[in-house]
Amino acid sequence: MTALKSVLFALTLPALLVAFWYIATSGAKNFFIPTPALLAEKFVSVWFSDRFFSDVLPSLGRLVIGLVSASVLGIAAGLLIGSFRWLRSLTEPVLEFFRAIPPPVLVPILMLLIGVSDLMKVAVIVSACVWPVLLNTVEGVRAVDSVLSESARTYGLSGAARVRYLVLPSASPQIMTGIRQSLSVGLILMVISEMFASSSGLGFTIVQFQRSFAIPEMWSGIVVLGLIGVIMSFIFQWTERKILRWYHGLREVENAA
Amino acid sequence: MSSRAAHTVQPDIGNGGADAPARPARGRSLALGPLSKPLLGLVGIAGFLLIWEVCPRAGLVDIRFLPPASEVLGILLADLGLAAFWAAVGETMTAWAVGLVTAVIAAVVLGFVVGSSTFLRTFTYSLVEFMRPIPSVALIPLAVLLFGVKIESSLMLIIYASFWQVFIQVLYGVADVDNVAMQTARSYGLKATARVRHVVFPTALPYLMTGIRLAAAVALILAVTAELVIGSPGLGREIALAQSGGAISSMYALVLACGLLGVAINVAMRWVERKTLAWHSSVRSETVV
């Protein structure tokens, strides 16, 4: 009964909006807004075709490679910088500056340095996604509970074991926050890198539709981007709950006490 | 609680004495004086500029593609004296400010309305969770169609992106209201508007400020992106023009200017946050949990 009710709750508003959209577009023909039926038809015919393999998959591949490299880089550098106080003070202003640069302005620079290629697109994604991960890792490492840290030292944990069993687990909630921030940034940069200089990929295709005034096709592209964003956020939430199960459990216990 | 008790009992072994007592030094780090932190930061900046200067001059990177730091800084300094540069900065900041303020007002109003009713919260949950992750750049083609290369294109992207940042935070904030405080206010006979003013608003304010700080950064990103990709007036368009015109050094100078603008916005937002939340325990930092 409650399950049915929550499904009803979840579906009512979207259904109402689609109904409103249907009614609003059924009468007058609006050039900019297609009817729901036309959009659904275009969505299937445009994206469930060769285009899925020639444009969508390569884009997603670059996004995943970029995100994974940015996470690995960010965590590694963050562990290093976070562990030494002098290194932290040394690098902090420079890192703050790099984080504050709006990442899309790096696209023209990377185009110059690397040239227009897949590598450049991945580099664009990495150069934007690495900062949230890096800075959050530094914060996480810095905030390791000092009692835990002293206990670990007393038990003679050092080097790799210390990182593996003390630093990495304590910093992991912060690291996950950083990765979550970088997901949305990465998706944005994936699209922008393809809008700039490219002859394939999602961003390119959508701009192409817009330039040729293929309005329903353009809208279907926007829907695809939205779906990718939603699916990514669901996958991430699921993974985060798996990885940080101990942490959420701990929080519940602490809050209850 | 327990960890704090442990600190005070524990004898001070090997902890750096230079630190404030509230923050025990970690590990065998060098004992740093209070002055050395900003000093090290300056050294870091100098080191970064030095590397940037040496790499192209030594031929590690093509000097045509990465001009040395001194040249770029020189152009940036020259830019600072140009009216055209400040006009571009003004255009970017206008789009940023108008977009941010609109988004914040809309998000605060809707957030308080939706957040204070359980029915509305569950009713809109699925839609919000679906709309929020949609990347704002997906709207670029639509913005171009509707507004062309005008400031409205930037505004549409900025408002969409910053709205969700603030809206979600306000929802969390309103949901965080302490039940006891609410019941107390009710039994003291506070009317609905007074309850919002004296109970809900102070609870939600820290969340709101976090949301605004995040949104301010996002709004700058989107402002520059719109200018860069669509070509609405501002710093981003100047970068695109410099790049296509082959004026590499001035392109770097403009990128540097964007970064400095970002730093200025971050610093200003943190200051505003500290001022408006001066009463809040997270800022007063005297209560330790």
pLDDT digits (tens, 9 = 90+) for A85-125: 888 888 888 988 888 888 888 888 888 888 878 888 899 99
The answer as to whether A14 is a domain residue is: no
Q: Flag if A196 and B45 touch (Cβ within 8 Å).
A: no
- Which residues of chain B are in CATH 1.10.3720.10 domains? 73-280
Residues 6+ apart with CB under 8 A from B245: none
C-alpha B150/C-alpha B95 separation (Å) is 10
Average pLDDT over residues A138-151: 86
Q: Is residue B181 very low, low, confident or very high in pLDDT (cuts 50, 70, 90)?
A: confident
Q: Provide long-range contacts, Cβ within 8 A and 24+ apart, for B35-40.
A: B36/A89, B37/A89, B40/A86, B40/A89, B40/A90
Task: Pull the structure tokens for residue B94.
Answer: 């206008």
| Residue B11: exposure state from Cβ atoms within 10 A (0-12, 13-18, ≥19) | exposed
Mean model confidence pLDDT for chain A: 84
Asked if B4 reaches chain A (Cβ–Cβ under 8 Å), the answer is no
Provide the shortest C-alpha distance from residue A155 to chain B (in Å). 14
The answer as to whether A177 is a domain residue is: yes
Q: Flag if B134 and A184 touch (Cβ within 8 Å).
A: no
Provide the shortest C-alpha distance from residue B157 to chain A (in Å). 12
Q: What type of residue sits at position B38?
A: P
What pLDDT score does A22 carry? 79
Name the residue of chain A whose CA is nearest to B257's CA: A101
- Interchain CB contacts (distance < 8 Å): A and B: 185
The answer as to whether A210 is a domain residue is: yes
| Residue B33: exposure state from Cβ atoms within 10 A (0-12, 13-18, ≥19) | exposed
Residues 67-106 on A with a CB inside 8 Å of B are 83-86, 89-94, 96-106
Given A109, A206, A232, which is nearest B141 (Cβ)? A206
ipTM, interface predicted TM-score of the complex = 0.80
The answer as to whether A5 is a domain residue is: no
* Homologous superfamily assigned to B73-280: MetI-like (1.10.3720.10)
C-alpha B250/C-alpha B256 separation (Å) is 10
The answer as to whether A2 is a domain residue is: no
What pLDDT score does B135 carry? 82
Q: Flag if A112 and B127 touch (Cβ within 8 Å).
A: no
Task: Pull the structure tokens for residue A144.
Answer: 């390791």
The answer as to whether A26 is a domain residue is: no
Range of the domain at A161: 33-256
Name the residue of chain B whose CA is nearest to A208's CA: B141
Which of A28-32, B6-10, B78-82, B106-110 shows the lowest mean pLDDT across its residues? B6-10
B220-to-A89, B140, B142, B227, B234 alpha-carbon distances in Å? 26, 16, 20, 11, 11
Q: Give the best residue of A85, A87, A105, A163 to mutate against chain B (max B CB count within 10 A).
A: A105
The total domain count for chain A is: 1
Q: Flag if B29 and A86 touch (Cβ within 8 Å).
A: yes
DSSP code, position B188: T
C-alpha A24/C-alpha A20 separation (Å) is 6
Closest-CA residue to A183 (of A228, A119, A224, A149): A228
C-alpha A227/C-alpha B130 separation (Å) is 8
Q: Tokens 């005070």 appear where?
A: B8
C-alpha B65/C-alpha B180 separation (Å) is 63
The CATH number of the domain where A95 resides is what?
Answer: 1.10.3720.10
Residues of A in contact with B11 (CB under 8 A): none
What pLDDT score does A67 carry? 94
Asked if A252 reaches chain B (Cβ–Cβ under 8 Å), the answer is no
The answer as to whether A97 is a domain residue is: yes
The answer as to whether A235 is a domain residue is: yes
